[in-house]
A = this chain, B = another copy of it.
Amino acid sequence: MNDRSPWPALEHIAYGGDYNPEQWPRETWHEDVRLMQDAGVNLVSIGIFSWALLETEEGVFDFEWLDTVIDLLHENGIAVDLATPTASPPAWFFAAHPDARVVDRDGEVLGFGSRGMVSHSAPAYRDAVVRIASALAERYGDHPAVLMWHVHNEYGVPVAEDYSPHAVAAFRDWLRERYGSLEGLNEAWGTAFWGQHYSNWEHVGAPAAAPTTVNPAQRLDFKRFSDHQLRACFIAERDAIRAHSDKPVTTNFMANQEFTTDLWAWAREVDVVSDDHYLTAADPEAHIGLAIAADLSRSVGGGRPWMLLEHSTSAVNWQPRNIAKRPGEMARNSLAHFGRGADAIMFFQWRASRSGAEKFHSAMVPHAGTDSRVWREVVQLGASLGRLAESRGSRVRADVAILWDFESFWAQSLEWRPVQDLDPRERIRAFYERLWRDGITVDFALPGADLSGYKLVVAASQYLLRNDDAANLTRYVAGGGTLVVSYFSGIVDEHDAVHAGGFMAPLREVLGCDVEEFLPLRTGSSAAVDYAAGDGTSHRLDADEWADDLRITSAAVRGTYAEGPGTGKPAITRNEHGRGTGWYVSTRLDADALETVMGDVYADAGLAPAGLPEGVEAVARSGEAGDYLTLVNHSDADAEVPVDGVDLLTGAATGGTLQLGAGGTAVVRLAR
């Protein structure tokens, strides 16, 4: 963070979306502004894909149309989140700088015609983004309509890794900086394996396609480097803007959708965290994925309010089957984001595009126009958000942290793991879903973070675990914390090297066990666990995918394999360490099977399920002006929730019990 204003100067929850007036004739602009007012829109993002129309040839600018648009918005009371258009350089840029094209891992040169197609290591691109960002900031830095800056768009998609010669040269420099000497690199990468020792820096390259699996430490470093290059581009633009403007600068993340950028590092560079979020259409409970994304957006920003810069009013266009949102679903999604800390609810995009790759993406003004369900719900949502202004800046507090570490995800995604395609998201989702169903609010955290404020920490998928991070977790438990670790955690260090001492050695002390051998299951087979619950009852839990052959040192065995390759061996353990407790779950339990185990974990942590009606989501925000409980009923049944206060959406007092209709939402200012 820096000392600039961390939030755009808005009096309300921000509401609006991406606005691309250049796709429409000027007469439509006036209709747009009128409709924005009808809908309560107070902020729009503009210019995201406008480079070719702003810099018509290298160094030649045409700002007339943008002046007109910004002035028109300003006259009508709509503020501007002004974008730098650097996600999509103009055709002339590629013609002039063919060396700035991305080369993919297979050596294919990716050309013009879509978007996001540039080498982030190409000097010509670095020069060009500073030039256009500077020109925009110089011209609009003090414009009263411009409340904030939107740099680029969704860094890391559609292409995060570039294997062009520019990238290879920059990677070499980055490695030299990182390791100091070739000896350091050879050691870190373990080049003695498969005879990959380097004797000359010039021989070190990017981990492009090779006959078989490439050095995993090299690949992991290339992911770090690629993230670094993207961020260096952002910083260059941000600093160019800051030379001319003191408005906050952001860029839109894709939390829980793309893992190409380390959002913890990015969040340190932006003034305000922004996120884009789209439901996974194939998932009937996509609102749980939404909650993860929202909690992650809040967490990477250290708990500060954040902006939802894009979501959709209904279907998107780029999934295999794009499912329209049901009536009310857009409002439920929006309120869920708000409840988890968003002070801006915005959409891609204002008006549906007639042309181009995303014409079937829904918008605030759909192809069907204003005589449509979507438009009516957009107007209604604008009115609802208008009633929440007092809550701005209030914050969410969580007792539980789930570890979320992009480096570990990157490392785990490499080839030749014990089981192919073991996805870290799957385990995180399972534990998160258990906590969501139990009504317990969650933060995400790095394993090296200060965890002392949490009653419970869950390491659902922490394949890569640095020794000092393991020590941090151990101290956390010693100090009274409760830790749950799931399988395939604590396996490698920061260089994707197996920990000396064996699998999970750095957690041996805190967990009272380590892993002698992995016992993954064949596809379709299962590994039931007999679990002895804290209340003395016994449970047969369904499990699959994975088992371990554990070596117990001090842990108590709470679950034992009843089927599969681990039959008779320990499956779930509990270890008292210092003033706290470390649990280990060595197999895959789904959210249902986790219920009993987590019940015991909660007891150790001093937590309890919230007892909400099934399908009801409730999250609290607290601020100076009050405490706000956001409630979303995802079920098809009406629900009663005992809560005392005033529902800001209706203005009605709950009288102790909120009647939350099927699909309904409420934001209750709690009686104090």
Contact = CB atoms under 8 A, between A and B. Distances in A.
A356 B191 CA distance: 7
Given A95-B202, A192-B22, A209 B355 contact: no
A204 B90 CA distance: 11
A64 interface: no
Given A207-B113, A369-B502, A213 B357 contact: yes
Interface string A490-527: 00100111101111000000000011111111110000
A278 B641 CA distance: 60
A169 B212 CA distance: 25
Contacts of A521: 321
Contact of A324 (B358, B514, B565): B565
Interface string A642-667: 00000000000000000000000000
Nearest to A157: B212
Interface stretch (A214-222, A334-342, A619-627): A214-222
Interface string A283-297: 010000000000000
A115 to B, nearest CB: 4
Nearest to A86: B195
Contact of A190 (B57, B205, B355): B355
Contacts of A500: 354
Contacts of A115: 194-195, 211-212
A549 interface: yes
B418 A196 contact: no
Given A208-B113, A420-B320, A57 B199 contact: yes
Contact of A565 (B197, B326, B501): B326
A211 B208 CA distance: 17
A454 B106 CA distance: 51
Contacts of A282: 522-523
A636 to B, nearest CB: 12
Interface stretch (A47-55, A269-277, A578-586): A47-55
A489 interface: no
B419 A498 contact: no
A23 interface: yes
A200 B416 contact: no
A203 B63 CA distance: 23
B107 A523 contact: no
Interface stretch (A370-378, A398-406, A598-606): A370-378
Interface residues of A, number: 121
B203 A352 contact: no
A462 to B, nearest CB: 17
Contact of A212 (B50, B158, B202, B495): B158
A264 interface: no
A102 B218 CA distance: 21
A2 interface: no
A110 interface: yes
B565 A356 contact: no
A89 to B, nearest CB: 8
A449 interface: no
A229 interface: no
A8 interface: no
Interface string A73-102: 000000000000100111110110000001
A353 interface: yes
Contacts of A515: 368
B110 A108 contact: no
A498 B359 contact: yes
B189 A517 contact: no
B91 A208 contact: no
A20 interface: yes
A592 interface: no
A359 B353 CA distance: 50
A515 B415 CA distance: 46
A205 B217 CA distance: 38
Nearest to A374: B517
Nearest to A361: B416
B111 A367 contact: no
Nearest to A419: B321
Contacts of A56: 199
Given A197-B53, A416-B317, A516 B357 contact: no
A66 to B, nearest CB: 13
Contact of A195 (B51, B357, B501): B51
A82 to B, nearest CB: 15
B92 A357 contact: no
Given A91-B196, A326-B565, A211 B110 contact: yes
Given A23-B193, A190-B356, A202-B95, A366 B326 contact: no
A108 B107 contact: yes
A497 B355 CA distance: 5
Interface in A507-557: 514-523, 549, 551
B367 A195 contact: no
Contacts of A94: 203
A52 to B, nearest CB: 4
Given A205-B111, A366-B517, A91 B199 contact: yes
Nearest to A24: B192
Contact of A357 (B362, B416, B565): B416
A88 B194 contact: yes
Given A200-B92, A360-B416, A371 B113 contact: no
B195 A90 contact: yes
6 contacts: A53-B195, A113-B210, A115-B195, A194-B356, A354-B497, A373-B516
Interface of A: 20, 22-23, 49-53, 56-57, 85, 88-92, 94-95, 102, 106-117, 157-159, 189-200, 202-205, 207-218, 281-282, 284, 314-315, 317-318, 320-324, 326, 352-360, 362, 366-369, 371-374, 415-420, 492, 495-498, 500-503, 514-523, 549, 551, 565
Given A52-B197, A190-B356, A368-B514, 11 more contacts: A23-B193, A51-B195, A56-B199, A113-B205, A113-B210, A116-B211, A116-B212, A281-B522, A318-B416, A324-B519, A372-B517
